[in-house]
Structure 1
């Protein structure tokens, strides 16, 4: 195992959309991925408009870096769900603070990629953007534990329901 550090430079930034990370209700959230115009020009985006979805790799810049549980724990600290190790979670508590999101590409204006359903907040540094290829999806049947389906039931719901009180 190498212990050499890896240096990454953001190539874009999330503009707009949500301002605070939350567990649910990301559906319909629209934002812009603003490409770094000092390093890239519009040539970098040629052909991207032919794709419906993007994969975005980003840095969880708002996460408390002292909050890094490496032991098994229940997702969202819900005791009804089993404890799983850190690689059984997809949240922002990651050793390298990297997030991966698949979002819909709505349109392109200059160096701005307009996207929907990106679960990264305003100001998030973007480390990579890739078009989604159907062929890179799972090549066999998928499965997951039931607790993940329960936990994510409202993840892409459009809005948090009003409190009936």
Structure 2
């Protein structure tokens, strides 16, 4: 399987900083070589979108294939890379639900996308509450702590 970016993140942050993403506004410019001009038609009826993007500046040498302490913090437990949301994943893919501020043709304006300028975008889906988890949610204390300042 070969992934082809459908667009690119423009604006927002230039550097991957771990916290304070909620106020960050950016755009995704869709690629007309991949998508037709009406690919985002109707997307503006949704308040949020799910964006799948690449950690394009992450050095392959730091990719984790096993376990590590989240953010390198020894006071948090060592966890397998699949039990955390950190960037150094085998396929270097990020997934974020963010606010959709507007759609203008092939440009989407967003708030809270935790991807940096230049990040390739591989997919965009409307957030639908019907796909939210069903039942009680369980997560460890360190996971709640790591997100305290993220947004």
- Indicate whether 1:155 and 2:150 are aligned: yes
Q: Deviations over 1:77-113 (max 9, x none)?
A: 1111111111111111111111101110000112100
Q: Match for 2:75 among 77, 80, 83? A: 80
Give 5+ residue unaligned stretches, structure 1. Answer: 1-5, 157-165
> In the alignment, which residue of structure 2 is the partner of 1:7?
2
> In the alignment, which residue of structure 2 is the partner of 1:52?
47
Q: How many angstroms apart in 1 are the aligned matches of 2:18 and 2:43?
A: 30
Aligned pairs for 1:60-99 within 5 A: 60-99=55-94
Give 5+ residue unaligned stretches, structure 2. Answer: none
Give the TM-score, by structure 2 length: 0.96
How many residues were matched structurally?
151
Q: Match for 1:127 among 122, 125, 143? A: 122
1:66 offset after TM fit, Å?
0.6
Q: Deviations over 1:18-75 (max 9, x none)?
A: 0011111111100001011233333111111110000000111010111122232211
When the two chains are superposed, the root-mean-square deviation of aligned CA atoms in Å is 1.0
